[in-house]
Amino acid sequence: MTTILDSGDTAWMLISTALVILMTIPGLALFYSGLIRKQNVLNTMFLSFITFAIVSVLWFVFGYDLVFNSDIMGIIGTIKNPFFNGVLESGSLATLAPTIPTGLFALFQMTFAAITVALISGAIVERMKFSAWLAFVPVWLLLVYVPVAHWMWGGGFLAQLGALDFAGGIVVHLTSGIAALALVLLLGVRKDMRLLPHNLGYSVIGAGLLWFGWFGFNAGSALSAGNLAVSAMIVTNISAAMGMLAWVLMDKLNTGKPTLLGALSGAIAGLASITPAAGYVNIPAAIIIGFVASIVSYYAVSKIKPWLGYDDALDVFGIHGVCGILGSLAVGIFALPAINSALTQGGLITGNLNLIGVQLLAVIVVMVYAFGMTLIIGKVLDKTLGLRVEAEDEVQGLDVNLHEESGYRLS
C-alpha cells in the first residue's frame, strides 16, 4: 500500500471537500428555503448555516476521534487527540487514505457530519424553536451520527460484519431521514401543512449546487484521484438523471402535468439512492437504482405521507430516508468486485446471498437506533427548552418573531 503523500490525490480531495461544503452552504440552505413560506426563508437558511458552524467546531474537538480512532468493542472510538491536538503539527498521512494528510481526511469527513444534521432541518422548518435546534445539533451529533459513522466507517461492529456504505446511504441519508421522522412525530403538524414554495428559483439553484457538490460527496469518497472516483462520478450522474426522468414520468401519469419541483425531487432521490452504492456498481445498476428509488419516493411523498398524516415538511424521510434504505439494499444486489477491487465478494448478481442479508441487518439496526435515540433527545429537549414555537409566532412567521429580520420588504 502506498504511504507517500500524493499531490494529485491531495488536490482532488481538497476539491471534493470544498464541493461537499458547497452542498450545505449555500446548496441545501437555498434548496430548503425556496420551498417554504416567505415569512420563514431566513430561519430556514439559518438552520443550515448554524449547523455547519457547530459541527465544524465539535468535529475537531471530539467527533473525528470518536469515529475514526481505535475501536472499543465495536461501538465507539477513543479520544486520543482532543481538539485534534498535535495532528496538524505532525503532518501525518491518514490511516484510511494513506496518500493524503490526516487533516484533509478529517476535514472531508467533517463535511459529511455537517450535511447529515442539516438535512434533518428540512422536516422541522416553520415550527421548531431555534434555541431547541441549537441544543439538538451537538447532542444528536454525539449520540447518533458519531456512533453510526463509527459502526460503518470507523471499524465498528457493522463494518466487522461486512456491511458496506460507500458514501453515506446509511450514515448520512438513513440516519437523517429516520431522525427527521422521529422529530416530526414529536412536533406534530403545522397550522398549514400545504407545500407553498415562495421562490422555486431558490430551490432550482440549490438543487443544482447539490447535484454539482454530490460529485465531491460520492466520487470524493474514493479518497484518491483514480478509476474508482471516475466510476463513482459517472454512476452518480446517471442515477440522478434517471431519478429526475422517473419522477417527471410519475407526475405526468398521475396528475397529467410534469412539475419542476418534481423533477428536482427525483434528481435528489437518484443522488441519495446511489450514494451508498456509487463505488460498487456499474451503469446498468445505477439506472435501475435511480429509477426504482425515485418511483418509491414519489409514492412515499404523495401517497403514504398523506395517508399516515405526519408532517415531514420537505420530505426528508420520504426522499433521504427511503432512498438511503433502498440504495443500501441495492449494494447487496448489484455490488461488483470488478468495479471496486477492495471487495472480496459481490452482491446477489454474482451469486452471493450473504451481502444483502448483512446490508438489511445494518439498515434495521441503524433505523431502530437512530429513531429511538432521536425520540429520547427530542423528548428531553421538549421537557426542558420546549421544541415548538408559539402558535402566534408560527402563523406570523419565524423570521420576524425569532430573529427580528425579514428576507423581503414587509408591506
**Per-residue pLDDT tens for 295-338?**
999 999 999 999 999 999 999 999 999 999 999 999 999 999 99
Does residue 405 lie within any of the structural domains? no
Does residue 331 lie within any of the structural domains? yes
Does residue 209 lie within any of the structural domains? yes
Other CB atoms within 10 A of residue 404 CB: 7
Cis geometry, peptide bond prior to residue 197 (ω within 30 degrees of 0): no
Question: Which grid cell sits at 220?
Answer: 470524493
Given a cut of 80, whether residue 230 has pLDDT beyond it is yes
Q: What is the pLDDT of residues 260-276, one digit of tens each?
A: 999 999 999 999 999 99
Given a cut of 90, whether residue 372 has pLDDT beyond it is yes
> pLDDT band at residue 2, thresholds of 50, 70 and 90?
low
Does residue 101 lie within any of the structural domains? yes
Residues 2 and 6: their CA atoms lie apart, in Å, by 9
Does residue 154 lie within any of the structural domains? yes
C-alpha Rg value of the chain to the nearest Å: 20
Does residue 312 lie within any of the structural domains? yes
- Contact at 8 Å (CB) between 167 and 217? yes
User: Considering the entire predicted model, what is its pTM?
Assistant: 0.97
Residues 6+ positions from 249 with CB-CB distance below 8 Å? none
Given a cut of 90, whether residue 410 has pLDDT beyond it is no
What pLDDT shows up at residue 386?
A: 97
State the average pLDDT for the chain.
96
What pLDDT shows up at residue 409?
A: 76
Q: In one letter, which amino acid is 14?
A: L
**Number of domains, the chain:** 1
What pLDDT shows up at residue 1?
A: 54
Q: Residues 281-284: contacts with CB within 8 Å, 24+ apart?
A: 281/235, 281/330, 281/331, 281/334, 281/335, 281/336, 281/339, 282/231, 282/235, 282/334, 282/336, 282/338, 282/339, 283/234, 283/235, 283/238
Does residue 408 lie within any of the structural domains? no
Question: Which grid cell sits at 192?
Answer: 398549514
CATH no. for residue 226? 1.10.3430.10
> pLDDT band at residue 206, thresholds of 50, 70 and 90?
very high
For the chain, the straight-line distance linking the first and the last C-alpha, in angstroms and rounded, comes to 65
Residues 131 and 385: their CA atoms lie apart, in Å, by 8
Residues 342 and 159: their CA atoms lie apart, in Å, by 13
For the chain, give the secondary structure using H, E and C.
CCCCCCHHHHHHHHHHHHHHHHHHHHHHHHHHHCCCCHHHHHHHHHHHHHHHHHHHHHHHHHHHHHHHCCEECCCEECCCCHHHCCHHHHCCECCCCCCCEHHHHHHHHHHHHHHHHHHHHHHHCCCECHHHHHHHHHHHHHHHHHHHHHHHHCCCHHHHHCCCCCCCHHHHHHHHHHHHHHHHHHHCCCCCCCCCCCCHHHHHHHHHHHHHHHHHHHHHHHCCCCHHHHHHHHHHHHHHHHHHHHHHHHHHHHHCCCCHHHHHHHHHHHHHHHHHHCCCCCHHHHHHHHHHHHHHHHHHHHHHHHHHCCCCCCCHHHHHHHHHHHHHHHHHHHCCCCCCCCCCCCCHHHCCCHHHHHHHHHHHHHHHHHHHHHHHHHHHHHHHCCCECCHHHHHHCHHHHHHCCCCCCCC
Residues 400 and 43: their CA atoms lie apart, in Å, by 9
> pLDDT band at residue 411, thresholds of 50, 70 and 90?
low
Does residue 365 lie within any of the structural domains? yes
Share of residues in the chain with pLDDT > 90 (%): 96
Q: In one letter, which amino acid is 410?
A: L
- Contact at 8 Å (CB) between 216 and 246? no
For 112, the domain range is: 8-399
CA dihedral 9, 10, 14, 16 (to 10 degrees): 20
